[in-house]
Amino acid sequence: MVPSVCLGLPSGAILLYGRAMTRNDETKGAAANPLWGGRFAEGPSEIMERINASVSFDHRLALHDIAGSRAHADMLAAQGIITDADNAAIQDGLARIAQEVAAGEFRFDPALEDVHMNVEARLKDLIGEPAGRLHTGRSRNDQVATDMRLWLRDTQDAVAAGLQDLLVALLDQAQAHAATVMPGFTHLQPAQPVTFGHHLLAYVEMFGRDCGRLADARLRLNESPLGAAALAGTSFPIDRDMTAGALGFDRPTANSMDSVSDRDFCLEFLAAGAIIGVHLSRLAEELVLWTSPAYGLVRLPDGLTTGSSIMPQKRNADAAELVRGKAGRVVGSLVSLLTMLKGLPMTYGKDMQEDKEPVFDAAETLMLTIPATTAMIAGLTVDKDKMRAMTSQGFLTATDLADWLVRAKGLPFREAHHVTGSLVKAAEDAGCDLADLSLETMQAVDPRIDASVYDVLTVEASVSSRTSFGGTAPDRVAQAVKQARARFLT
């Protein structure tokens, strides 16, 4: 990612490549903006400059903008549109600017609006007249669309790599706890016994699908808008296949109007990101519950928890709470961009400048919350005894009893369900678990019950019996871990 730059400036001054320049230094008229000012008798007002400028956030695109410009210049030279000498000067200048950006030495000028005009102005400062030929056959409209695709392609790859690390952490814990029994819940009520490994594998499936969504979005993203120009293409004999190939795109975009007017590739990233955020939030919520004294099932590393300024006994799962809270930012970014785009006619409108901040913020949020979640999962300590003890609450083997009545005694399931409900009531009244009811008490409810019923009323028997594909039996969990590693880890 392009290093961030400091844009905090003294009042009335801007930084232009390291040189302080006050408003009194500026000339009015066309010179106020040499890249587009020829049409205007006056320069923009201060409020127009402020609302129009995007360099405070689109500076992140600088290296990708330079990469696109270098590919464009090579193509212009290959097509005889500019000379080889001009291309050589442009390439040398852009390479130097890239070094300045990478080193954090490039100073962006807010008066030049955006990253594109800052790079072009710096290029002119370095090489003079040849810089003015770089923009032949393109527009800022296709230029920014190209930059965003390049930046987002790299970002999606980074997010996917983070998810891979999270999958590894989840799979390692699932493998270690393939036979660790715990309560499974529906409606936050104890339902049936499962293994902790099986529970974690549910998140493996979620994040595995998230990786698939990112991969799908990347396929559609990977087309080059460069050469679409403002909206109608260009009369210069450009080679869009050449620039697409040079930038690692699969092909050029097929319609010049669509190329500059849509941001559905951003929407797809944000939609996938919002789903990732929701999955992270759900896992974070469970970590908050599991680490609370009421549950006490797992413990997070000290480095991922915080204390209280007034209550010395507190140990708060703040990392999990922040992951849960930050999911709302990513969802909000998706809604923001959808709302911005929904009323735009063809083709480009300045509204589309508002595409960047939601995408940047969502990406930065994901690149923070995914590693935080990975660290929590990799570092958590499981209290196996507490998990096992919790399975004695809530009559978790009731379904096993009903299934036994169907399988061993031939009762219709609805009748078996009714009999089991009566036995649960009897156990509740007696203050014991189902396995602690005497055979006489059970037979008083249904005389067909015999002593073999106790074979299915232990938690371990219940878990081991769930051998259906995708079930919680320890052997199934161990097998599922192995299969998931092959499916999701690249």
The pLDDT value given to residue 424: 95
Structure confidence by residue, pLDDT tens digits, 206-232: 999 999 999 999 999 999 999 999 999
Q: 297 with 390: CB under 8 angstroms?
A: yes
Confidence of residue 167 (pLDDT cuts 50, 70, 90): very high
269: number of Cβ within 10 Å: 28
CA proximity to 195, closest of 395, 480, 485: 480
Exposed/middle/buried for 471, CB within 10 Å: 0-12, 13-18, 19+? middle
pLDDT in tens, 291-318: 999 999 999 998 998 877 777 677 788 9
Q: What is the DSSP string of 92-107?
A: HHHHHHHHHHHTT---
Cα distance between residue 412 and residue 415, in whole Å: 5
Tabulate helix, strand, coil % of the chain (nearest 5): 65, 5, 30
State residue 185 phi and psi, 5-degree precision.
-120, 145
With 60 as the cut, is the pLDDT of residue 32 above it? no
Q: What angle do CA 453, 459, 462 make, to 5 degrees?
A: 65
Whole-number Cα distances in Å, 22 to 9, 12, 25, 26, 342: 11, 6, 5, 7, 40
Residue 279 has pLDDT above 90, yes or no: yes
Q: Quick check: 98 pLDDT over 60?
A: yes
Give me the residue label for tokens 């019923």: 453
| Distance of alpha carbon 69 from alpha carbon 243, whole angstroms | 10
Q: Which two tokens stand for residue 56?
A: 């405070």
Q: Other C-beta atoms within 10 Å of 438: how many?
A: 11
Cβ count near 31 (within 10 Å): 11
pLDDT reported for residue 165:
98
**Catalytic site residues?**
187, 308
Rounded Cα gap, residues 338 and 340, in angstroms: 6
Amino acid at 24: N
Q: What angle do CA 182, 392, 205 make, to 5 degrees?
A: 20
Per the prediction, the chain carries an average pLDDT of 91
For residue 211, give Cα distances in angstroms to 41, 159, 327, 490. Answer: 53, 9, 17, 11
Is residue 291 classed as helix, strand or coil in its secondary structure? helix
Main-chain dihedrals φ then ψ at residue 82, nearest 5 degrees: -125, 165
Retrieve residue 155's tokens.
């970002």
